[in-house]
Structure 1
Amino acid sequence: MTGPGWTSISLQGIQNGSPVSSGRASQGQPPGNGPVVWTAVRDVSAQLVDVLGDGVDRVRARQLIDSQVQAWTDQQLKLGRVVSAEEQRHVGQLVFDRRFGLGPLQPYLERSDVENIVVNGCRQTWVSYTDGSKKAGPPVAETDDDLIEWVQLLARRGNTGREFSHASPLLDVALADGVRLAVVGWVSRHPHLAIRMHRLVDVTLPQLTRLGTLTEPLEQFLRAAIRARRNIIVCGEVNTGKTTLVRALANEIPPEERLITLESDFELFLDDPRLAHRHHDVVAMEARHANAEGAGEVRLQDLVPACLRLNPDRVIVGEARHGELAPMLEVMYSGARGSMCTLHVHRPEHVFSRVVQLGRRADLGLGADDVHLMFGLAEPLIVYLQRDQATNERFVSQVMEIGPPADSTEPTRNFVFAPGSDGRATPVGGHISAALLDDLAAQGFNPALLRSGTDTEGWL
């Protein structure tokens, strides 16, 4: 209620000259936030910084937030400003999302059609959708300093409590609910964030077949390969669905087997309690960055040999990108057959050069011939994924069987699946070793599924 001398205050903000409604929109679109909103959120958050610790229950946290918002509202009333009940709820939701979610971006996290979000400073946001479109999103802070403070809060939520500061201007951290955050600051004009949502965490091979990532023969082939304890390396460019495919492959592993996952940043989530029905015995390990004094670093290539002392049945490396590939190949050969990793390559024919490059990064004095021998002895299946730029569809286009070197220093290879007319993996009749075919058949695979004709001339 207003009276003489009272002023009504709007927390809705103004964007492009038009008021933006407050509150959570039905389709998950966050409301616009003006300077008054940022001030309210900052003031309320500051009052609660000591009570909203990591151990506070979220129901209790919401009660504390609502109470503090009411106290802030009463203070505004004394200054002659009236805050509506709807606006109070809006501020309370933003404070809650800032502490426990992705702040103003939280509504996008709740949408199933949002894939990635990038933030260029406090005022510019771009949202990428599953249909391949990209649209502008809301500002996420009033100033870049406020944005940095929020990122530092997010960084502390990660498993290893990573630092984001002048001394550590690069941040990669896995957050809850399948969200990966990458940030750079102080090396650019503004802080820049890239947020990736992993929508398909509990995913299966049949689901990927329905989505068009796999074909029916390929689904049956990969299922049998996993059960036959064949090593698999999933390759492709960035954002082609490599991690999703590894999750689906892992869900074919018998639940009683002991799995150890090694990652630079947690993304596989095989140890998630919600997946306990699929994997009963999982050890998830994450590399650790050095602190501001340069101490405490634990590299992924250090974790690979160390994990063998924990008696794994299989080892899964989320992404081999430094020196961990060489020890991982040793694991595949002699430590834990049926292991997996992912590898970034631009084209499938680059996989051999990429393996040599990463083998040299291990700093073990390995030459190209040594790495090729290790690669061949591991006998992995190379599964190559690609993304259609026009439709944003991801699909497997090629599968190679790798074997020990024979007539040259490079490993031998058979094209089991090659791109068909639509680019998707199509069986190449007869291009498979007898040993692999026997292993697959022993797991119930029907060899007739591979009887097809595809010309591989020009492929590698």
Structure 2
Amino acid sequence: MTELVVIDEPARREMLLLALRRLMDGLFGDLLSREDVANVLVLPPLRGRGTCRVLVKNGPSPEFVRDADPDQVRRFLAYVAGFQRKELRRDRPTLDVTLPETGERIHADIEPVTTGPACSIRKPYRGRITLDDWVLSGAATTLQARLIRRLIDGRRTVVIAGDVDTGKTTLLRACLEETAFLTGLPAVLQDPYEFEPPCPHAYAMVADPWADPPVTLETLVANALRVPMTHLVLGEVRRAEARQMVVGWTTGHPGLCTVHAGSAWDALDRIAQMVGLGGVAMDALQMRWIAKAVHAVVHLARDHTGRRFVNEIVQVERFDPDRGFVLRPLGVGNLTVEVSMQSNGNARRGLALALVLAWTAMPAHAQVIANLGAELLSWQAVFDTNFVPIAVTAGLLLALVAAMFSRIAGVVVFVFTVAGAAAYGARDAIIALAGG
């Protein structure tokens, strides 16, 4: 008589995972091992063709690699489903799975929602990245990194927005490397799992919408509000969990999230739309609460070469029923012109030299020049000390020269110089508002 062998659950999962790994390595191992590949996709057969198509994607354009046998792909997906004690069949044609240990995220579809087996395999990023790395890579300017740090240190809530594949999650991970998160107790919620939080005391949770009953991100946010956390962080907001998120952010739990949106304004409208999915009537009161919950939006974009960069950083001031969300720019991305001085001392010496030259050219107005110099140095305390508007000095000299011919002309040039300096320095002046 054959003896019945009982395999316990850990052993079953280990055996399935081993078989799954072998299948995945045989089908996609060469692609998943490439450093330049973040996503491997299997497209279903085209009507009239019998093979699946394997592509890789790590930028705006996919790259076709080869064809694949649909039966092998289907077998691989069956193991993926079996590993999670689930099934892929006609009445359940979709599946999402995150593999243990290595963390690949697999989304699978079969007939009837596709013409054949299809899947997406996303590799997790294993390294660590900081805001300084963003600056070194050219994806952010020094000023933009400083702005984001000021917002985080000031316990401000920041929404990271952008289109697909613009680096939203990458920037969120970089923000989590900041001291406020590393020394705090942030609740980090994801759906699906994308990264391991770098924070040593992160209260990390992952949603499982396929569980019975489903564990949604909205449920996780509600659970996190019962924890004495310091920050509320959502990997990505897509649905009605935005309502609970706004509640958490307005009750003393600042944080971060990512949103798919084409601009900073669109990001706030998108959040409002998702709050409305929770059955909330989006009247002016609810919109004001969103404006109160979100302090700033960082919008990311890609240029024509596929390079990611911080496009703009805006501060959310309020919601106006007639104008919508009222925003003030904290940065202007690639259009920002920054003049960096070596130190505060160098800046003062440069201004002093310009004033001496101006005094030499016009000794009769020495007192006026001295007063203007003192005023400029007081402005410098408002502006960031490492970004002194050199144009102010040039404008001052021009005003003095103009005054030699006409007092009115000198005053006009000076007024325009002050207005230009204010516009130039407004970015840095707002840092103080954002931090205070």
TM norm. shorter chain > 0.5: yes
2:70 match: 143
CA distances 1:10-37 after superposition (whole Å, capped 9, x unpaired): xxxxxxxxxxxxxxxxxxxxxxxxxxxx
1:330-353 deviation digits (Å, cap 9, x = unpaired):
21111412x111111123332232
Deviation at 1:450, TM superposition (A): 6.7
Q: What is the CA deviation profile of residues 222-273 of structure 1, one whole-angstrom value per residue up to 9, with x for unaligned ones?
A: 1232222111100011111101110000111342311212122111321xxx
Counterpart check, 1:355 vs 2:283: no
Residue in 2 that maps onto 1:369: 284
- Within the alignment, does 1:309 sit opposite 2:226 as a pair? yes
Q: 1:311 to 1:199 in 2, by over 3 A?
A: same
| Alpha-carbon spacing, 1:386–1:53, altered in 2? closer, same or farther (3 Å) | same
Match of 2:307 in 1: 393
Q: How far apart, CA to CA, are the structure 2 residues paired with 1:51 and 1:326?
A: 38
* Structure 1 letter corresponding to 2:300: L
Q: What secondary structure sits across from 1:267 in the alignment? A: coil
What is aligned with 1:35? Answer: none
**1 CA distance for matches of 2:87 and 2:253?**
34
2:365 matched to which residue of 1?
none
The question of whether the paired residues in 1 share the 8 Å contact of 2:98 and 2:104 is answered with yes
SS in 2 for 1:372: helix
Pick one of 248, 260, 266 that aligns with 2:187.
260
* Structure 1 or 2: more helix by fraction: 2
Summarize deviations over 1:364-408 as a string: whole Å, max 9, x none.
x332423311111114210001122x3221111011111233685
What's the % identity of the aligned pairs? 22
Alpha-carbon contact 1:262-1:316 (below 8 Å) kept = yes
The one of 253, 257, 260 equivalent to 1:341 is 257
Flag the structure with larger Rg: 2
Pairwise CA distance, 1:52: 7.1
Report the alpha carbon displacement of residue 447 of structure 1 after superposing the two structures with TM. 2.8
| Aligned-partner Cα distance in 2 for 1:286–1:257 | 20
1:156 CA drift (Å): 5.3
| Distance (whole Å) between structure 2 residues aligned to residue 170 and residue 455 of structure 1 | 52
Match of 2:176 in 1: 250
What's the TM-score, normalizing by structure 1?
0.65
Spell out the pairing of 1:274-285 with structure 2 (5 A cutoff). 275=198, 279-285=199-205
- Structure 2 counterpart of 1:106, from 29, 35, 60: 29
* Paired letter, 1:318: G
The amino acid that maps onto 2:196 is F
Q: Which of 78, 82, 90 is 1:166 aligned to?
A: 90
Taking structure 1 as reference, are residues 51 and 257 closer, same or farther at Cα in structure 2, changes over 3 Å only? closer
What is the DSSP-based 3-state SS (H/G/I as helix, E as strand, rest coil) of the residue aligned with 1:309? coil
Q: Does the Cα contact within 8 Å between 2:250 and 2:292 map onto a contact in 1?
A: yes
Please state whether the residue corresponding to 1:356 is helix, strand or coil: helix
8 Å CA contact 1:258, 1:281 repeated in 2:
yes
Counterpart contact for 2:207–2:220, Cα < 8 Å? yes
Q: Is the 8 A contact 1:326 1:371 kept in 2?
A: no
2:387 and 2:277 map into 1 onto residues whose CA distance is 37
Q: 2:20 touches 2:80 (CA, 8 Å); kept in 1? A: no
Tell me, yes or no, if structure 1 residue 414 matches structure 2 residue 340. Answer: no
Q: Is contact 1:369-1:410 (8 Å) kept?
A: no
Pick from 190, 202, 206 the counterpart of residue 286 of structure 1.
206
SS in 2 for 1:114: coil
TM-score if structure 2 supplies the norm length?
A: 0.68
Q: Deviations over 1:257-311 (max 9, x none)?
A: 11212122111321xxxx4xxx2212222222245xxx41122112212211122
Instruction: Report the CA distance shift for 1:349/1:155 in structure 2 as closer, same or farther (over 3 A).
Output: same
Shift of 1:135: 3.1
Output the CA distance in 2 between the equivalents of 1:340 and 1:157.
33
Give the one of 181, 186, 199 matched to 2:106: 181
SS in 1 for 2:221: helix
| Cα deviation, residue 177, structure 1 | 3.4
2:130 aligned partner: 204
CA shift, 1:326, in A, is 1.9
Relative to structure 1, the CA distance from residue 454 to residue 398 in structure 2 (aligned partners, 3 Å threshold; closer, same or farther) is farther
Contact 2:131 2:145 in 1 (8 A): yes
Alpha-carbon contact 1:217-1:449 (below 8 Å) kept:
no
Tell me: CA distance 1:448–1:362, structure 2 relative to 1, closer, same or farther (3 Å).
Answer: farther
CA RMSD of aligned residues (A): 3.3
For residues 157 and 328 of structure 2, the distance between their equivalents in structure 1, rounded to whole angstroms, comes to 15
- Give 1:213's match in structure 2, choosing from 129, 132, 139: 139
Deviations 1:182-211 (A, max 9, x none): 222211111222223343642111112222
Structure 1 residues 384 and 162: alpha-carbon distance in aligned structure 2, compared to 1, 3 A threshold: farther
- SS at structure 2 position matched to 1:137: strand
Q: Quick one: structure 1 residues 147 and 446, their matched pair in 2 at CA, closer, same or farther if it must change by over 3 Å?
A: farther
CA contact (8 A) 1:325 1:358 kept: yes
Q: Flag structure 1 segments of 5+ consecutive residues without an equivalent.
A: 1-49, 62-94, 429-444
Partner secondary structure for residue 38 of structure 2:
strand
- Aligned 8 A contact 1:372 1:409 in 2: no
Distance 2:332 2:28 in 1: 41
Kindly indicate whether residue 338 of structure 2 is the aligned counterpart of residue 403 of structure 1: no
Q: Which residue identity lines up with residue 128 of structure 1 in the other structure?
A: K
1:447 and 2:373 equivalent? no
